[in-house]
Amino acid sequence: MTCRFAVSITFALLLCGCGDSPDLASPVAKPVAKPVAKPGPETSVAKPDSTSLAIIEYNKGNDFLDKEDWDTAIACYSDAILLNPDYGKAYNNRGVAYDEKGESDAAIEDYSAAIRLKPDYAKACNNRGIAYRKKGEYDAAIQDYTEAIRLKSDYAEAYYNRGIAYRKKGESDAAIQDYSEAIRLKPDYAEAYYNRGIANEEKGESDAAIQDYSEAIRLKPGYAIAYYNRGIAYRKKGETDAAIKDYTEAIRLQPDDADAYRNRGGAYRMKGDKAKANADFAKADELLEAKK
């Protein structure tokens, strides 16, 4: 049977960087399905000099970033940088757009430029860490998240992201410690509970995992993958009926989830219900075939 451990997802989200906006609340890293602070306008000066023109292009880029038009956002941020080569926030936001396009190397280059221009730029450090993590460079990612935390000690998202990198390295205890700190700083952090549940499950601590998945579900009732993973934890404990209930809810929330059907089929087979098991296995195969 398949045991899927997805990172949030965010939205898990899965994880992406977030743009910076000078005049509104500080945006956060977007690890798996997290709210993103919308970029706000920056006020330009009356005289149309290069600085004010750069601000205009930067704000246009923010609008396109918000619309997920990555290429146009990149073009606008590039114009802003040409007009003002010291525009650190334009470099950071262009890095976000590159990251969203899957161009991690270009994103890292831009985040690095932003950090060079503003060494205390915690968000750029966090974002560069995300890009390194996507490349599988976990030590570099951890180094950047650690620097972001040093610069901003209450940076819940940086703790969360560092936890993901530690778990990717197989360091479950360090991951749990970081997820716990993220939760302490941000008690409604559903993704942190979910990922801590994964780390606990990897350690064989099914009860702790179930508790974390349950809290993630309480905070985010439509969290299909949390139901799915809680079902796996229940199955490991031999609580087949509870597992079936969770797989069923995961299927209700995400009807094309072949893994949920396959795992529910396995649970039915453990109960001796061959008809329901075979029906679920057939549905799983049908969904997988449709995705080819």
For the chain, the domains span 224-292
Cβ atoms of 92 and 114 closer than 8 Å: yes
Average pLDDT by stretches of 10, the chain with 292 residues: 35 48 33 40 65 95 97 98 97 97 97 98 98 98 98 98 97 98 98 98 96 98 97 97 98 97 97 97 96 87
Distances (CA, A) of 185 to 33, 114, 181, 255: 18, 26, 6, 34
Which pairs count as long-range contacts for 139-148, CB under 8 Å and 24+ apart, including other chains? 139/169, 141/165, 142/166, 142/169, 147/122, 148/122, 148/123
Cβ atoms of 33 and 10 closer than 8 Å: yes
- Residue 153 tokens read as 């000690």
Candidates 96, 126, 123, 129; CA nearest to 110 is 96
Please tell us whether the domain made up of 224-292 is placed in CATH 1.25.40.10: yes
Cβ atoms of 97 and 75 closer than 8 Å: no
Cβ atoms of 223 and 198 closer than 8 Å: no
The pLDDT value given to residue 188: 98
Amino acid making up residue 101: K
d(C-alpha 81, C-alpha 241), whole Å: 59
The pLDDT value given to residue 184: 98
pLDDT digits (tens, 9 = 90+) for 48-83: 789 999 999 999 999 999 999 999 999 999 999 999
The pLDDT value given to residue 13: 36
The pLDDT value given to residue 292: 85
The pLDDT value given to residue 83: 97
pTM of the model: 0.83
- Residue 78 tokens read as 């590039």
